[in-house]
């Protein structure tokens, strides 16, 4: 019986190889497309998480600090004769602290180009700055060793006039709480601003001087503040109005809350929102650079002013 020889014994034909290669390329392209989209989604999720983490930290920090503005212990600052909202960078003496206490907050709107905070750090143009006045929470007994250059406040609801003095004059703190000296609270004030490299920073005034700036969050593209001012005449309707700095001295005293807007950008530059226009805080902001952006807004009441 004669043997039968098939053409298959000679291998694949060129047409079959081309078809197989084409199918392989389609599969590889399909898999590459899925992997690329998956990696893109992962990067986008990471960028969103980065921005949300920064926002969560800022919301917590600013909510706490703004909420405590105007807190100076056991007395009412309404009775203090504040004469003018203090300048942001002035060195605070005992007398200046007394004048500044009725003003829980102060600020600058839309910082000009090349503005240097207190002659040092350059502020991002067009952003806002805020100054918060309050005392520390932890109490200091006058009998303990106080910081000589630090200003302390000793107040009592039983006395309309607090005692405000430097730590090296501890004998001046004569208010009593029962048989014990009334504790004092350290005066402090903090500036919040965005530097020219898009970092939100704080600069604290402690021990008689402004300390070095402390970086808080990177990737801050904009920082805008609106002040909620209680109206004197509320018979016409709403008792508050939203204003931008500068305010009059009387208006600074009646600020009861702050509405803060901050625009954050992640370090990932893959997604482009360039050209997107945002409308907030009575301004229009057009995104100029590539990146993943998110806009956040918080409304924080000043608890001591409510």
Residue 301, beta-bridge partner list: 257
State how far the Cα of 106 lies from the Cα of 192, in Å rounded to an integer. Answer: 11
Cβ pair 284, 277 in contact under 8 A: yes
Residues 180-195 have pLDDT tens digits of 888 888 999 999 999 9
Q: Where are the beta strands (DSSP E) in 50-198?
A: 105-108, 116-117, 121-122, 129-140, 151-156, 159-166, 176-177, 180-181, 184-194
pTM of the model: 0.83
Residues 290-302 have pLDDT tens digits of 888 999 999 999 9
Residues near 288 by Cβ (< 8 Å), separated by ≥ 6? 274
Q: Average pLDDT by consecutive 10-residue portion of the chain (306 residues)?
A: 54 74 75 68 76 94 94 73 71 84 91 89 95 88 80 80 85 82 89 96 88 94 95 69 90 93 86 82 86 93 86
């Amino acid at each position: 019986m004669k043997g039968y020889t098939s053409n298959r014994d000679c291998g694949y034909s060129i047409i079959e190889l081309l078809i197989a290669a084409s199918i392989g390329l389609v599969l590889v392209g399909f898999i590459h497309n899925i992997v690329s989209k998956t990696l893109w989604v992962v990067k986008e999720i990471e960028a969103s998480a980065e921005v949300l983490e920064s926002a969560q930290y800022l919301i917590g920090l600013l909510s706490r600090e703004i909420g405590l503005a105007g807190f100076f212990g056991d007395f009412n600052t309404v009775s203090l004769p504040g004469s003018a909202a203090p300048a942001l960078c002035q060195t605070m003496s005992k007398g200046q602290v007394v004048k500044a206490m009725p003003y829980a907050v102060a600020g600058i709107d839309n910082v000009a180009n090349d503005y240097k905070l207190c002659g040092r750090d350059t502020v991002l143009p067009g952003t806002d700055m805020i100054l918060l006045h309050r005392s520390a929470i932890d109490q200091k007994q006058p009998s303990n060793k106080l910081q000589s250059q630090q200003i302390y406040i000793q107040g009592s609801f039983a006395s309309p006039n607090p005692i405000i003095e430097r730590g090296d004059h501890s004998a001046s703190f004569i208010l009593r709480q029962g048989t014990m000296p009334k504790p004092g609270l350290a005066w402090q004030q903090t500036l919040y601003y965005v530097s020219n490299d898009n970092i939100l920073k704080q600069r604290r005034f402690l021990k008689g001087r402004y300390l070095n700036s402390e970086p808080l969050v990177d990737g801050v593209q904009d920082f805008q503040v609106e002040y909620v001012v209680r109206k004197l005449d509320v018979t016409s309707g709403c008792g508050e109005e939203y204003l931008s700095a500068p305010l009059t001295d009387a208006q600074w005293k009646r600020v009861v809350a702050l509405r803060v807007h901050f625009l954050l950008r992640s370090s990932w530059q893959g997604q482009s929102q360039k050209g997107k226009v945002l409308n907030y805080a009575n301004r229009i902001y057009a995104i100029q650079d590539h990146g993943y952006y998110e806009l956040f807004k918080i409304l924080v009441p000043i608890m001591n002013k409510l």
